[in-house]
Structure 1
Amino acid sequence: MMENPTRTPLITPRLGDSSAAAGAGSLPAVTPPPYARSMPHLSVPGASLYYETEGALSSPAILLLHAGIANLRMWDPQVAALAAKHFVVRFDSRGFGQTSTENVAFSNRADALALLDHLGIASATLIGCSRGGSIAIDIAVESPDRVAGLVTIGSGPSGFPEVELTELEDARFDELDEAFDARDWHRLARLEVALWAIGPTRDEKALDPEFVSTAYALNRVNVVHAEESPVPIPLEPPASNRVIDIEVPALVTVGEFDVTPALAQYEYLLSTLPFASGCTFRDTAHLPSVERPEEFERVLLDWLTSNGL
């Protein structure tokens, strides 16, 4: 799936796809919100997972899984609304935020399920952005009894084949590789946000400065983990050829100006998941829930209500 290197084309609405209108909305704070009442750590093999909960434990559970350029703070704008009718759980994965880890082999899936077990949650609706969405898909494939619903944002299933990049995207990824090889972690963090959250075809100066500041801040705190080397254990076989077996309601979303692979993965999931509906968020890239929080919240709450979740 190729795109114009100077501008990502509009994605034509299709069956099951409702395009979200652009709206400025309110923007998230990066500091912990006053409604984050429970902020403990959970000890798992080789790590201490930082997590937060909000809402009544007796309510339907939601597990929020953050993007690889963020941490659990990315969900701040949505937590209060979700917690009105749900028990909301979120945590920092290994290598992110306030979670600490040893350099051991581990499973992102096992970490997430260990947290649900710790809280006495039999099943939850999983909502994941980017890598968080990929982890959610893996869990839905491997442990279907633990998943009541699935929401992905700019995510793809593990094992998804490589997608040809535009020339501009290819150049941006080369810059990431150079920063990584130079071990310039602060530059790498900035470049990651510029590629994913800003988007390769958008001018940062034309975007809401508060969103830009928030996006950079969400990834900046992860730099302290740059020297950590935990080894994630992949799902075998990967999820790409198994998503057809996910038999729960699914909401597949993507930002209009996301990178080519994310747009291709969106189309694949929307056409392959048996009970999927989709939404393309206009005038946003890889973090629509951060850049367009009010619009994302409306779409998400409507979907949860319509599916009885």
Structure 2
Amino acid sequence: MDLYFEITGNGHPVVLIHSGGADSRLWTFLAPLLSKHYKVIAFDGRGAGKSPSPLKHANYVEDVRTLMDYLELKQATIIGHSMGGQIATDFALNSPERVSKLILIAPALTGFPYSKEFEQYHIKISEAAPNIDKMLELALDSPTYQVVFESPHKDLTVQMLRHHLGRMLMWPADFCMKWPQPPAMERLEELNPETLFIIGQKDLADNIRVANCFRKVPNIRFIEKEDADHMLPLTHSEDLYQEITAFMEV
């Protein structure tokens, strides 16, 4: 296993999958709370944090399966944020027997038609390469960070994003992400695990639209946080802890 991971606590296993633009430090505040009751596994995705850079392509869903196999986890609760939620959803669709419960925090969604504004935002960041300062400035110019920037966690957010952008510059020029087919958006009605979906009301419009797609999921519970943007694991760790533990104990 070449991915960096940390394990804290004991009990039922919980695997935390961080968002793009971040690493396992995203769980700095939530993981210690969850580890009071559960065995918490937080890892750096391929190309993020302390994990190695991808070679041409990355299959993040397969990486979750490989990590669980390495740790001899037959089943776990999977918690994913943003792109981590996208990975978690695809993993639950393709390996439902490995997922006891699924918790999605403002997830992305494979196959979702993102808006032109969203696509242009990412294109502008890429076009600013290799100027990391400019890339960072453009990346942070987003409602994604409006709440976290007014919190004590602004510096950590910036540190993770700067580190991520620097790592991206070292990825292969022909890098691509491999996702299971057909796309998750076309299969949401097949999502079997009991699912908790949490999103901030101040999140991007695209992410709110993604949330509406998940209304197709048969056994899902929605929670909206009025005063939250996209970065709930940093700004609302205590709230998430309460909601997650209540959901897992049912």
Normalised by the length of structure 1, the TM-score is 0.74
Name the structure 1 match of 2:32: 80
Q: Which structure 2 residues correspond to residues 1-309 of structure 1 after superposition, within 5 A?
A: 42-43=1-2, 49-56=3-10, 59-162=11-114, 164=115, 170=117, 174=120, 176-183=122-129, 184-195=131-142, 197-199=144-146, 204=149, 207-208=150-151, 210-227=152-169, 228-229=171-172, 230-269=175-214, 271-306=215-250
Larger Rg: 1
Question: d(CA) in 1 for partners of 2:241 and 2:44?
Answer: 21
RMSD (CA atoms) = 2.0
Give distance in 1, aligned partners of 2:128 and 2:33: 42
User: Aligned equivalents of 1:278 and 1:99: distance in 2?
Assistant: 32
Higher relative contact order (CA 8 A, sep 6+): 1
More displaced 10-residue stretch of structure 1: 277-286 or 97-106? 97-106
Distance 1:203 1:244, change over 3 A: closer
- Which stretches of structure 1, 4 residues or more, deviate above 3 A after TM superposition? 172-176
Output the TM-score relative to the length of structure 2.
0.90
Higher helix share: 2
2:135 partner amino acid: L
More displaced 10-residue stretch of structure 1: 258-267 or 293-302: 293-302
Verify the 8 A CA contact 1:256 1:280 in the aligned structure 2: yes
d(CA) in 2 for partners of 1:76, 1:211: 10
CA contact (8 A) 1:186 1:223 kept: no
Q: Distance in 2 between matches of 1:244 and 1:113?
A: 22
Aligned residues: 246
Residue in 2 that maps onto 1:8: none
Offset at residue 115 of structure 1 (A): 0.7
Judged with a 3 Å threshold, the aligned counterparts in structure 2 of structure 1 residues 185 and 103 are, in CA distance, closer, same or farther, namely farther
CA distance in 2 between partners of 1:286 and 1:188 (Å): 19
Residue of structure 2 equivalent to 1:37: none
CA distance in 2, matches of 1:249, 1:141: 12
- Equivalent pair of 2:128/2:135 in contact (CA under 8 Å): no
* 8 Å CA contact 1:136, 1:150 repeated in 2: yes
2:196, 2:220 within 8 Å by CA — same for their partners in 1?
A: yes
Question: For residues 60 and 91 of structure 2, what CA distance do their matches in structure 1 show?
Answer: 9
Q: Which amino acid aligns with 1:187?
A: K
Q: Which runs of 5+ in 2 are unaligned?
A: none
Amino acid at match of 1:214: L
Sequence identity (%): 22
Structure 1 residues not aligned, in runs of 5+:
1-41, 44-48
